[in-house]
Amino acid sequence: MRTELETAVEAAVAAGEVLRENFGGRQNVTYKGEVDLVTEVDGEAERVVLEVLRRVFPNYGVLAEEGGEIPGESELRWIVDPLDGTTNYAHGFPAFAVSIALERAGEVLIGVVHDPISGETYVAERGGGATLNGRTLRVSGTEELLRSLLATGFPYDRSDMPEALELFGRFSKLTQGMRRVGAAALDLCYVAAGRLDGYYESGVKAWDIAAGSLILEEAGGRVTGYGGGELDLQSEELVATNGPLHPALLEVIRASPGPP
């Protein structure tokens, strides 16, 4: 019997192959909002993920970005983003990933994020640490905000953009640099790998952050909501850091004049 972790890795890699094979070609794009797009490949990658997961664990529920919620007979539920970074993908920009998590009663037990372009697979099991292609992951040791490299994302709702840009500007003045990768799952994994020191964003969904948040925690990092409390996957906001920088990020966010 295959374990959940092995099955999640198989599903992520299989979907990643679909994404890689179709990357760079003409994309059939539709829109869920003004700038929130989806490609035909999103659906195909999700189909591949669910086929692998449900073949081995047919009783588990599923929450998937494109297909929505599928109830299961088990208390366990897969949380799936078949293509995190769809806008990047549609433009031929090579920063996107497949994200798969296993959740029970709000607690994420397994996280897998696969980047098919770089061939990097980030994996974590609660209490078992985190790895990148089998190598142990650890967050950075950066302690000063001025020495940090941070990432964020911007909202799809254009009415929220002024506040987001104001906060981005504040952090730009206080840090060594800011980045906007465009894929929340990769942002979290990059913090876990020490490539970034922190990441914050509002408007994220459970499928964007479930796997990556566990990977970061198991790599020694810290993930909370904007208020500093325990992360709620349904809250649509998170602050993720290497740990030492967490109070500083929360302080800057709390001082922002409006909700980012």
Which mean pLDDT values do the consecutive 10-residue runs of the chain (260 residues) have?
Answer: 90 96 72 54 92 96 90 94 93 96 96 98 98 98 98 84 93 97 97 98 96 98 96 94 98 77
pLDDT at position 180 is 95
CATH number of 145-254: 3.40.190.80
Residue 134 structure tokens: 């089998």
Which residues does 15 contact at the CB level (< 8 Å), separation at least 6?
Answer: 45, 46, 48, 49, 82, 98, 114
Q: Would you state the pLDDT for residue 259?
A: 47
> H or E stretch including 30?
strand 29-31
Of 3.40.640.10, 3.40.50.300, 3.40.50.720, 3.30.540.10, the CATH number of 4-136 is 3.30.540.10
Q: Where in the chain is the domain with CATH 3.30.540.10?
A: 4-136
Residues of the chain with CATH 3.40.190.80: 145-254
The pLDDT of residue 260 is 42
How high is the pLDDT of residue 157? 73
In angstroms, rounded to a whole number, what is the distance separating the alpha carbons of residues 110 and 104?
A: 10
